[in-house]
Amino acid sequence: MDLTGQEIFDFMSHHGYWIILPLMVIEGPVATIIAATLAALGAFNVLVVFMLSVLGDVVGDVILYGAGYKWGIGFVKNFGKYIGITENLVVRMEKYFKKHGGKTIFTVKSTTGLCWAAFTAAGIVKMDFWRFLKYSVLGGIIWSGFLVVMGYFYGYMWREVSGYIEWVGWMASGLALATFLIVNLFKKHKAGRFFKNNFVN
């Protein structure tokens, strides 16, 4: 590691937690993978990265829930098209949330790619906040745990093999990106099936 790289590494080791937390709120999966990779290289404590990932993810969920709760259907009319939620969808989800709200939040959090729509809809239909928070945290533990393990593995591979293969960093980064894209494609597929089975006639 050259001087510049060492300085960056040292800076991240001492101040990185304050940087990655807001990034995890904005773009949790990418920030978590990067932070977990750096944890494997010694910059962070992997347990702290995991906890911050769950926290950042939940904060983002609560913001979406709050937007839906405060502005209701008006939020959908003005911003719904940007997050994949429609007035018709909210109407369909309202009755379902009353009976299966916890299941829905946990499912979309841990296995699908519908977080924006589901969390906003949960606020619009006034799902009990503490119930919402409970299942958001539970789903976040699973999702963040997966991302941390993935990032840490690639960081570990980078650390152990870099002394023998100069381009291992690029290989590890490429594998991490490919894995992330595959997982997101799978989540989108699951999301489509979940909504089709539950909210489409």
Query: Cα 130 to chain center, whole Å?
Result: 20
pLDDT of residue 42: 82
Helix (H, G, I), strand (E, B) or coil at 164: coil
Contact between 114 and 63 under an 8 Å Cβ cutoff? The reply is: no
Contact between 57 and 24 under an 8 Å Cβ cutoff? The reply is: yes
pLDDT of residue 5: 46
Q: Which segments of the chain does DSSP mark as H helices, in order?
A: 3-40, 46-83, 87-110, 115-124, 129-161, 168-199
How many domains are there within the chain? 1
pLDDT of residue 130: 92
Residue 184: what residue type?
A: N
Contact between 22 and 59 under an 8 Å Cβ cutoff? The reply is: no
Residue 58: what residue type?
A: V
User: Domain span at residue 33?
Assistant: 3-199
Question: Which residues of the chain register pLDDT less than 70?
Answer: 1-15, 83-84, 95, 98, 110-115, 160-177, 179-180, 183-201
Give the predicted TM-score (pTM) of the model.
Answer: 0.74
